[in-house]
């Protein structure tokens, strides 16, 4: 079983991730967002935490090696 947390803005997602560090196993993010693009969000996440990120418009399949317990979805 896993839990999904949805955020409508990248800044909100970063706040949630920072407040609940080590509680999420993966981030699924769109690339085009109003407050920050997905690439900028990815820079913040990879510099601050150890989380795999799946961007919505990727052409490649990313294999995940963790069991999902909590997921953060940013749309």
Nearest 5°: the CA angle 39, 45, 46 is 90
Stated pTM of the model: 0.67
User: Is residue 29 over pLDDT 90?
Assistant: no
**Beta-sheet pairing, 53-55 with 26-29:** parallel
d(CA 14, CA 67): 22
Q: Which of 25, 1, 29 is nearest to 13 (CA)?
A: 29
Per-residue pLDDT band for 64 (boundaries 50, 70, 90) equals very low
Number of separate domains in the chain: 1
Residues spanned by the domain of 48:
3-74
Structure tokens at 34: 């109003």
Q: In sequence order, what E strands does 1-75 have?
A: 3-7, 26-29, 53-55, 70-74
- Higher confidence at residue 53 or residue 18? 18
More confident residue, 7 or 52: 7
Going by pLDDT thresholds of 50, 70 and 90, the confidence category of residue 65 is very low
């Amino acid at each position: 079983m896993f839990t999904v947390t949805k955020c409508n803005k990248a800044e909100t997602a970063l706040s949630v991730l920072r407040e609940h560090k080590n509680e999420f196993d993966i981030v699924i993010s769109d690339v085009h967002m109003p407050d920050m693009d997905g690439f900028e969000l990815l820079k913040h996440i990879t510099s601050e935490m150890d989380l795999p990120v799946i961007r919505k418009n990727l052409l490649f399949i990313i294999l995940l090696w963790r069991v999902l317990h909590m997921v953060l979805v940013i749309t």
